[in-house]
Structure 1
């Protein structure tokens, strides 16, 4: 059975634009998924990337155009300048880690719900009520927001180290069990072809 390690940030617009397409690909090929939230800003610093606010204006202009085009392509609402970005992604990351351990809900819905909260709903994902609402909406116990904070922090840090060690430098980033790496929401079709044995 194929497996996908999914490295992402709940602050990443490109992770938001991935929607749940990767999960649909995984289901089509019987692949399992491990969700690995990380701190993408810290990842940039360690892997030669540049945080958005430090990029040259020409890069930022293209980024803005590309985000709008991709949102239209996938029929997704998008606010280019969210009211609560950047914010603290740790609470949602810990909640996702706790939910993955607990089981019983829809992890894809949980992850995408937090991303939509940032990029479409003008919500602050650092707020307890937003974290709890996301858990509840995805079929998880909202009390998971309060449990396992220490283990969540440890796993979050471990995800970061694993990402650097395995060649991850952005989000979303998908690594198969055969170490095939796919960076970006625009490579999900390639991931699909790979799992089908065509690429």
Structure 2
């Protein structure tokens, strides 16, 4: 049975556009998943990337067009400029980490709820009330917002170190542990599908 490490960022529109396709692939191929939220800006710093705010205007403009095209192609609601654009991604990442550790709910559904709250519902994903709603709707104890802080902070930092060591340089990033095959971007999920079929 294959196992996939999924490196993600709760602030990433590309992770939002991935939707639940990873979870569908895992179910199709009998693969298991570990969700590893990371800080993408620090990841860029450590792996030679450029933070979005520091990119040339040509890249910024193309990214905006491409995100809009992908949302239309995938037929999912998407707000290129959400109401709460400049927020801290750590609390939502901590919630995912705590929920995965606690069990009892659907982590994939939680990840998607948080991403949807940001990119389609204009909600502040650094707000505890929003995170409680997402946790509850995904079958988890909403109290994990408070009780999971320490575990979340420790694991969040460790995930980043593991990401760099594993060859990650952006999000979403999928690594099949058994083969060390790496797939960067929601537009590489078809390649991941083909690889899992070959195992």
Q: TM-score, normalised by structure 2?
A: 0.98
SS, match of residue 36 in structure 2: strand
TM alignment of 1:25-174, pairs within 5 A: 25-174=25-174
Residue 11 of structure 1 contacts residue 86 of structure 1 at CA under 8 Å; is this kept in 2? no
Runs of 4+ in 1 over 4 A off after TM superposition: none
1:18 maps onto 2:28 in alignment? no
1:83 Cα offset (Å): 1.3
Paired position in structure 1 for 2:194 = 193
* CA distance in structure 1 between the partners assigned to 2:38 and 2:132 by the alignment: 20
1:53 Cα offset (Å): 1.1
Paired position in structure 2 for 1:184 = 185
SS, match of residue 143 in structure 2: helix
Residue 97 of structure 1 contacts residue 152 of structure 1 at CA under 8 Å; is this kept in 2? yes
* CA distance in structure 2 between the partners assigned to 1:87 and 1:95 by the alignment: 15
1:184 Cα offset (Å): 0.2
* CA distance in structure 2 between the partners assigned to 1:175 and 1:148 by the alignment: 26
* CA distance in structure 2 between the partners assigned to 1:172 and 1:133 by the alignment: 24
* CA distance in structure 2 between the partners assigned to 1:152 and 1:53 by the alignment: 27
* CA distance in structure 2 between the partners assigned to 1:77 and 1:148 by the alignment: 30
Structure 2: runs of 5+ lacking an equivalent: none
* CA distance in structure 1 between the partners assigned to 2:10 and 2:85 by the alignment: 11
| Number of residues of Structure 1 aligned to a counterpart in Structure 2 | 198
SS, match of residue 196 in structure 1: helix
1:151 Cα offset (Å): 1.4
Computed over aligned residues only, the root mean square deviation of the Cα atoms, in angstroms, reads: 0.9
Superposed CA deviations along residues 129-157 of structure 1, whole A, max 9, x for unmatched, are 01100000111110111113111100000
Q: TM-score, normalised by structure 1?
A: 0.98
* CA distance in structure 2 between the partners assigned to 1:106 and 1:119 by the alignment: 20
* CA distance in structure 1 between the partners assigned to 2:152 and 2:62 by the alignment: 35
